[in-house]
Amino acid sequence: MTHPESTPKLNDDSNSVEASATGDTLPKKLRWFDGFAMSMTMPAALLATLGASITGLGGWGAAALWAISMILALGVNWLYTELAAMFPTSSGGIAHYAAQAWKSRAPWVAPLAGIGYWFPWGTNLATYGAITGGLIQAQWFPEQTWEVQLGPVSITLPLAIGLAVIVLLYAINVVGVRVTMAFVYVTAGILMIPLAVFIIFPLFNSGWAPLDLTWKLEGWTGVHQALVWLYVMAWTTLGIEVCATFAPEYRDSVKDTVRAIRAAVLFCLGVFILVPITLGGFAGEKAIADDPGYFFVKSFTDLVGSQASGIMVLALIASLFLVMLTSVADASRVLFNMGKEGVTVRSLGKLNARGVPVRALNVMLVMNIVVLIVLKSPLAIIVTGNLGYIITHILAVSGFYLLRKDRPAEHRPIRLPQFFVPLSVVLTAVFVVILIVGATGFSVTSYGGFLELGVAVLVLGAGIVIWWFVSRRSRAPEGPRSAEH
């Protein structure tokens, strides 16, 4: 879909494998398939939300909306291939694209997009660590219901497991990107087992009845319901852009970034269209409604054998580890880039001797431990994440139009055909509507309320305040020096 004249032309330094890490330069050790492996986070996240969507929308309604959401993600991420090629040395991903496009009009977009992107990815350790702890207890230690009171904090087995998971994944990321990628490949490989079973096995099972699936989207009420669910689904489908965050670490920043995004888009498009129909048609809507969070565990055992429940739980835990590994790697690099660019505290924009943004990782470690201990089931964090995340995409997609308008002559190693310019405007409008309707559609999905929405606004506002303070402080020394002259 690229323009014939847009064959990537790289400067010698853009694809140098020799590049090494300095205080603020990430080492170039990754290839495009490493980014693709990290994008497997999205199919893993699908398993966590599929049941609720089928229950609320009907099987065919869920399949249609997951397909629509993934097609929107296809268009959005195709735009990001051009932007990623324009900024191949930035680890800020889509937040950096938004900041570059809007900086002459609204410089506060940089912290808004940065926090809007970093916060949902960064708190996934607490969110999925809590889920992992609950799964392990339910499967192997159901009798361990003890509770230890430490002042105002109560420690349970799931909470203790969640804290251990957070520390473990922090340690993996501190060691270095190659060790992180080794764990990513292992967990992504394990995830392929249930995905293959859910897509292929139902087709050859007599219990597969896709015609029994229903459609619950009727009239204008259905339109409103669909928009709210697209808001919820956006966190899962749009996340393919994670491939762009690692642009500076690919051996060939332009080619590898684009290949990773395109491979992830096409693979996830197939998974998100097929799984709701194959798995939904096999499990049946009633069974899914009875246990929307874990219905696929029973489906897996029905398809493979009665002794396979443990295998499915292990695969599910591996998929959660994949989500958390990718999240901490992605979010730490975005926070590192924000520090390097002066969007937040500058000391965060430094690497250790192994080229790891360890200061950003330290912030995330403390934040996730606090979130897990205090909130335990952080619904407010999830709602906050969706709001900020979609706002960041709106700013980045509209940024595609602004960069074409403001910098028409700037070098673009990949230049998409002209029709992508109006397409970016249309996609921006679509996501603005989804944001407005979805962020206030609590009654449709029971997905938070005005309190959680208020928390979201406060967190995003805090990012802007920190940016203002850092910017003002960085300019302060210039006054006396200039006065001396």
What is the reported pLDDT for 397?
97
What is the reported pLDDT for 278?
94
> How far is it, in rounded angstroms, from Cα 77 to Cα 299?
32
> How far is it, in rounded angstroms, from Cα 391 to Cα 261?
20
For 403, the 3-state DSSP assignment is: helix
Distance of CA 419 to the CA centre of its chain: 27
What is the reported pLDDT for 327?
86
Q: Which of 359, 318, 321, 353 is nearest to 337 (CA)?
A: 359
> How far is it, in rounded angstroms, from Cα 288 to Cα 185?
30
Residue 329, both tokens? 């790697």
All residues at 6 or more sequence positions from 378 whose CB lies less than 8 Å from its CB, including other chains: 123, 126, 127, 130, 371, 372
Question: Considering the entire predicted model, what is its pTM?
Answer: 0.84
Going from the first residue of the chain to its last (485 residues), give the mean pLDDT of each consecutive group of 10, the final group possibly shorter.
Answer: 39 39 67 88 81 89 92 92 86 88 92 89 84 83 83 82 90 82 88 90 92 89 90 87 84 88 89 91 91 83 79 84 87 87 83 84 88 65 76 96 94 91 97 90 65 76 86 62 42
What is the reported pLDDT for 477?
53
Extents of the domains making up the chain: 32-91+123-375
Helix (H) or strand (E) holding 154: strand 153-156
> How far is it, in rounded angstroms, from Cα 387 to Cα 285?
29
What CATH number has the domain spanning 32-91+123-375?
Answer: 1.20.1740.10
Region of 58 (left: φ > 0; alpha: ψ -120 to 50; beta: rest) is: left
Q: Quick check: 390 and 435 in contact, CB under 8 A?
A: yes
What is the reported pLDDT for 121?
85
Q: Which of 258, 278, 280, 232 is nearest to 383 (CA)?
A: 232
DSSP readout, 204-265?
Answer: G-TT--GGG------HHHHHHHHHHHHHHHHHHHGGGGHHHHTGGGBSSHHHHHHHHHHHHH
Helix (H) or strand (E) holding 79: helix 59-86
